[in-house]
Amino acid sequence: MAAIQKEREELIEMFGIHFELLYNIPPLCSRILALLIIDGCKTGLTFEQIVEKLGASKSSISTNLNLLLKMDKINYYTLSGDRKKYFKPSPFSERLTNYIKILDFEKKIIDKLIIYREKTVSCAEEQCNMENVKAYKSHVCEVEELLMKTIEKFKEIERNNT
């Protein structure tokens, strides 16, 4: 059992470091998300369980839970007659949908840059830049298409398991 506990702790730490870098969030925030992914996917974890498992202050846990809720990285639910909130990671499909929003905005910026560059190109370097931007837009569109397929697959899995 000690080996499984050690493996669990290593996973939480690895996820924690990953989320810190990926989302630019505080270390405790990223560890809470990691903990919920590893231990909270079935029934969720209560506030008290999170405090106990991470050994951080209640105010720190509360602040970071609120940040994760605002970022749509986690959800919570309540049970009738129970005053506790049960926190769970947001479904994969929801977490990936946020990337679609980012890609949509990036495509708008790219389109504006292409229009601008087409009007102002005056040298070989700017022409090269415009070609690179067009190639990058093509890449972003391919990533978006692949991401949409993945989200649909996750939604199907989530529907079949609820």
- pLDDT tens by residue, 18-60: 999 989 999 999 999 999 999 988 889 999 999 999 999 999 9
Please report the pLDDT score of residue 93 as a whole number: 87
Question: Does the reported pTM lie above 0.75?
Answer: yes
Domain ranges for the chain: 2-89, 92-160
Please report the pLDDT score of residue 96 as a whole number: 85
At residue 82, what are phi and psi to the nearest 5 degrees?
-120, 125
Please report the pLDDT score of residue 64 as a whole number: 98
Low-confidence ranges of the chain (pLDDT < 70): none
At residue 134, what are phi and psi to the nearest 5 degrees?
-65, -40
Please report the pLDDT score of residue 135 as a whole number: 97
Question: With pLDDT > 70 as the criterion, what percentage of the chain qualifies?
Answer: 99
Please report the pLDDT score of residue 98 as a whole number: 82
Q: What is the CATH number of domain 2-89?
A: 1.10.10.10
Please report the pLDDT score of residue 92 as a whole number: 85
CA angle 27, 33, 38 (to 5 degrees): 120
Q: In the numeric block, which tokens belong to residue 72?
A: 């749509």
Please report the pLDDT score of residue 42 as a whole number: 83
Please report the pLDDT score of residue 67 as a whole number: 97
Please report the pLDDT score of residue 161 as a whole number: 83
